[in-house]
Structure 1
Amino acid sequence: MKHLPKHLRPRWRYLAIELETWPDEHIGRRSFQREVWYAGQNLLGDPGSADADLTVMRFWFADGRGGAIVRVRRGETEPARAALACLDEIDGAPIGVRVRGISGTIRAAEENYLRRRGQESEERNVVFGNEERVAILRDSVGDVRLDETFAGATDLDYDLA
C-alpha cells in the first residue's frame, strides 16, 4: 500500500493540556481518553467528533497534577477546546482542565507549554476553620484535608501551624 502524497495527508494540531484534581486521586490514560471522546460526542455530535478526531498522544499524572497532549485535526481546534472544557470529572474525581497552548508538533507542545516541573508540594499542618489540619501545599494554594475529603484553599484561607 502506498503512502498518500504530502498534500493529501491529514494535518494535525496538538493541544497541550494541564490537569489538576485532589492530591489523593489517581487518573489513568484510558479513563482520560474515554472522557475526552464522550465530551466530544456529547458536545459536537458524531459528525463533529469524527471531524475533530480527539486522540490522547501523551499523558502523565501524579499527586493530583498532570498533563496531556491531545491530537486534533487542523481547523478543528476551537470545537476541540470547547469539548475539553466540558470535562468536569473522570471516574468520579472532579478535575480541572486547562488548555495551555496549541502547536504543530508534539515536541513543541511539550517544550513550550508543558514544561514538566517537579512537584513542589509539601505536607504541613495548618490552621483552617479554627482547627489544626493537614494540608498539601503547592505554590500559593493548598488542599486541606477534612474528614474524608479535601477543601481547596489559598494562602489567605489558612495559617501555618
Structure 2
Amino acid sequence: MKHLPKHLRPRRRYLAVAIEAWPDADLDRRDFQRSLWFAAQNLLGDAGSADADLTVLQFEFADGTGEAIVRARRGCTDDARAALACVDEIGDAPVGVRVSGISGTVRACEEKYLRGGSQNPGERKVVFGDARRSAVERDGLVDVRTDGAFAGTTELDFE
C-alpha cells in the first residue's frame, strides 16, 4: 500500500506535557491515556474528543515527576490544552499537569521542551510538625512524609 503524498497527510501537533505527583505515585502510560480520553470526552463531548484525536505517544514517570508527548490534530491544540488542564488524577493518584510547549514534529518537541529526566530528587530528614520526618526534595519543593501520605512544603515550612 502506497503512502499518501505529503500534502494529503493529516496535520498533527505535538504537546510536551510535564507531570507532577507525590513521590510514591505509580503512574503508567495506559492510565494517563485513559484519564486524558475521559477528560476530553467530558469537556468536549464525543464529537469534539474524536476530532481532537488525543494520543499519548511517549510517557516517562519516576520519583514524582514525569513528562509525556501528546499528539493532537492541527487546529485542536486549544481543545487539547483544555482537556489536559482537566486531568487532575491518574489512576488513584492526584497529579498536576502542565503543557510545556507545542511543536510540529516529535523530534522538535523532544529537543525543545523535554529534559529527559535530568531531575534527581534527594531524600533528607527534616523537622516538620514537631517531629523528625523523611522528605523528598526536588526543584526547591519538599514533600514531607506524614503518617503514610505526603505534605507538600517549601523550605520555609520546616526547621
Q: Do they fold alike, i.e. is TM over 0.5? A: yes
Q: CA RMSD in A?
A: 1.0
Aligned pairs for 1:54-133 (under 5 A) are 54-133=54-133
Q: Note the alpha carbon deviations across 1:111-137, whole angstroms, 9 max, x for none.
A: 111112433211111011222111011
- Inter-partner Cα distance in structure 1 for 2:117 and 2:54: 26
How far does residue 151 in structure 1 lie from its aligned partner after superposition?
Answer: 0.2
Find the residue that maps to 2:127 and give its secondary structure: strand
Gaps of 5+ in 2: none
Find the residue that maps to 1:115 and give its secondary structure: coil
Number of equivalences:
159
- Inter-partner Cα distance in structure 2 for 1:129 and 1:27: 29
Which residue pairs with 1:13 in the alignment? 13
- Inter-partner Cα distance in structure 2 for 1:117 and 1:35: 23
How far does residue 107 in structure 1 lie from its aligned partner after superposition?
Answer: 1.1
Which residue pairs with 2:138 in the alignment? 138
Q: TM-score, normalised by structure 1?
A: 0.95
Query: What letter matches 1:55 in structure 2?
Result: T
Q: Note the alpha carbon deviations across 1:61-97, whole angstroms, 9 max, x for none.
A: 1111100000000000001100000001111100000
Which residue pairs with 1:24 in the alignment? 24
Which residue pairs with 1:40 in the alignment? 40
Q: Note the alpha carbon deviations across 1:98-156, whole angstroms, 9 max, x for none.
A: 00000011111111111124332111110112221110111211100000100000111
Gaps of 5+ in 1: none
Q: Which runs of 4+ in 1 moved over 6 A?
A: none
Q: TM-score, normalised by structure 2?
A: 0.96
